[in-house]
Amino acid sequence: MLVKRVKTKKDMKKFVRLPAVLHKDSPYFVPPMWLEERSAYYGKNNPILSNSDYELFLLNDDSGKAIGRTIAYIDFNHNKFYKVEMAFFGAFDCIDDPAAGAILVETAEKWAIEKGMDTIRGPIHPVAENWGFVYDGYYSPPMYMSPWNPPYYHKFFTEYSKAKDLLVYEVDMRKGYVLPERYISFFDKFLKRYPEVSFRRMNKKDIKTDAKAILDVSNQSLLDNWGYVPLELPVMEDMLKKLKLVVDPDAVWICEADGKPVGYCLGFPDINIIFKKTGGRLFPTGWYRLLFGSKKLKEYRLFGLAVHPEWQGKGLDAIMYINLYKHLVHKNILIEANYMLEDNFRILNALEKLGMEHIKTYRIYEKNLMS
């Protein structure tokens, strides 16, 4: 086995396509949109990698066949914000072979040490924008912008410690989920108490304005969240542009108080269902399915919900969820809420009171490179 740095177009193609090769027989693997994926690992096309030092590694067997891959990178914004010397790894895929896994892990570690880093954490994928390995809940396909992996990946990281678990909750209106009546009453009472509060849908014709509104609320409300790094406008714009073609206006809401953004709720249909059917291809008919088929989807992801610090503790987070529910309940859908920190007990308790069920766990690993 030989590990090499990705430098040629041929190697890049093998790197990008490897997950589909390894997991083609799995009913749970979902391919990415290949048109975006093949260019996303270049810094000029990726707002996260554009501010990082990074290297792509491809592992080949003795016949030249790709059998593993990973990216190692240093996020300068993260390290400056937390005052640490940390590297990350992501895009990790490998055959079920201890030696192959060890080579990839050691290669990323060696690269990080050579760059002067004392810790490595991951998987945090800077292209797919997903965090962690699936740790519990392997036997269901991932929603858009969330990970999937076979169980054996964890055995490659026995020398790592758990950095954090991220939890996934869901409610299924198709199975009879109904928001308790007391929350509907709370919604009406809240708006009477705070008449300055209003909700508006995302404006697809003015992505930059809404991206800035979401950015400002996020950077003030999420600073104490583990692993959060203040976002830059290009990152948020890039995310909203990805969703622009398929966004459901009933699933993206900006909350304002006297016209000033104080919260947001960001959800979207699970377009992975379409990518699964099209094999991640947009042509010849994939684009049509994506554009029109997304309107018929019955699975949604609640990607983000945040409240400005001035409004925290007043119940606005619940109000935004109730507003989301009121506008989606007639569609009879499933909603999955991702990336809940395992120790954010206030949020977890709120989700459970709302009737959500814990269905999946992702795990992020970390290792001290100096010990």
Report the topology of domain 2-128: Aminopeptidase (3.40.630)
Mean predicted confidence (pLDDT) in 4-22: 96
Check whether 205 has a pLDDT greater than 90. Answer: no
Q: What is the DSSP letter of 85?
A: -
* Nearest by Cα to 212 from 228, 235, 198, 233: 233
Alpha helices in the chain (DSSP H): 9-22, 34-37, 76-82, 98-114, 181-193, 207-221, 233-244, 272-278, 286-293, 316-328, 345-353
**Tell me, what's the pLDDT at 171?**
94
pLDDT score at 208: 82
- Beta pairing class for 334-341 and 161-172: antiparallel
Residue-averaged pLDDT of the chain? 92
Structural domain boundaries of the chain?
Answer: 2-128, 171-367
Please state, as a whole number, how many other Cβ atoms lie within 10 Å of the Cβ of residue 18: 20
CB atoms within 10 A of CB 256: 16
Q: pLDDT tens, 114-131?
A: 999 999 999 999 987 789
Q: What is the mean pLDDT of residues 107-115?
A: 98
CB 246 within 8 A of CB 235: no
Scanning the structure block, which residue is given the tokens 């990082």?
52
2-128 and 171-367: same fold? yes
The rounded distance, in Å, linking the Cα atoms of 257 and 113 is 48
| Answer CATH for 171-367 from 3.40.630.30, 3.40.50.300, 3.40.640.10, 3.40.50.2000 | 3.40.630.30
Check residue 174 and give its pLDDT. Answer: 93
Give the pair of three-digit tokens for residue 21. 């090769």
pTM: 0.92
Q: What confidence category does residue 74 fall into, taking pLDDT thresholds of 50, 70 and 90?
A: very high
Of 92-96, 199-203, 247-251, 262-266, which one has max mean pLDDT? 92-96
Does 285 or 215 have the greater pLDDT score? 215
CA distances to 14, 23, 39, 272 from 31, rounded to whole Å, are: 14, 9, 15, 8
Q: What percent of the chain has pLDDT over 90?
A: 70
The pLDDT assigned to 103 comes to: 97
Question: Predicted confidence band at 89 (pLDDT cuts at 50, 70, 90)?
Answer: very high
Q: How far apart, in whole angstroms, are the C-alpha atoms of residue 269 and residue 296?
A: 9
Alpha-carbon distances, residue 226 vs 112, 140, 222, 339 (angstroms): 22, 27, 9, 11
**pLDDT reported for residue 128:** 74
pLDDT at 284: 77
Nearest-10 crossing angle of helices 207-221, 233-244:
130
pLDDT score at 36: 86
**What pLDDT does 258 receive?**
95
Rounded to whole angstroms, the Cα distance separating 196 from 148 reads 42
Per-residue pLDDT tens over the stretch 191-202: 999 999 999 998
Task: Tell me which of 41-45, 167-171, 338-342 is least confident.
Answer: 41-45
pLDDT interval class at 10 (50, 70, 90): very high
pLDDT at 223 over 90: no
Residue with structure tokens 């399915």? 289
Question: What's the pLDDT at 188?
Answer: 93
pLDDT at 288: 73
Asked whether residue 68 carries a pLDDT value surpassing 90, the answer given is yes
SS3 141: coil
pLDDT at 370 over 80: yes
Rounded mean pLDDT, 155-176: 96
User: Tens digit of pLDDT for each residue in 269-296?
Assistant: 999 999 999 998 887 777 778 777 888 9
Residue 34 Cα distances to 140, 286, 287, 302, angstroms? 22, 11, 12, 24
Average pLDDT score over residue span 163-167: 97
Please determine, for residue 235, whether its predicted confidence score (pLDDT) is greater than 90.
no
Query: What is the reported pLDDT for 333?
Result: 95
Amino acid code (one letter) for 258: D
For the cut 90, the answer to whether the pLDDT of residue 55 exceeds it is: yes
Residue with tokens 């491809």: 58
Q: Is the pLDDT of residue 350 over 90?
A: no
Which residue type does 317 have? D
CA–CA distance, 28 with 332 (Å, rounded to integer): 24
At residue 307, the 3 state secondary structure works out as strand
How many other C-beta atoms lie within 10 A of the C-beta of residue 89?
Answer: 26
- Report percent pLDDT > 70 for the chain: 100
List, for residues 281-339, the tens digit of each pLDDT value.
887 777 778 777 888 999 999 988 999 999 998 999 999 999 999 999 999 999 999 99
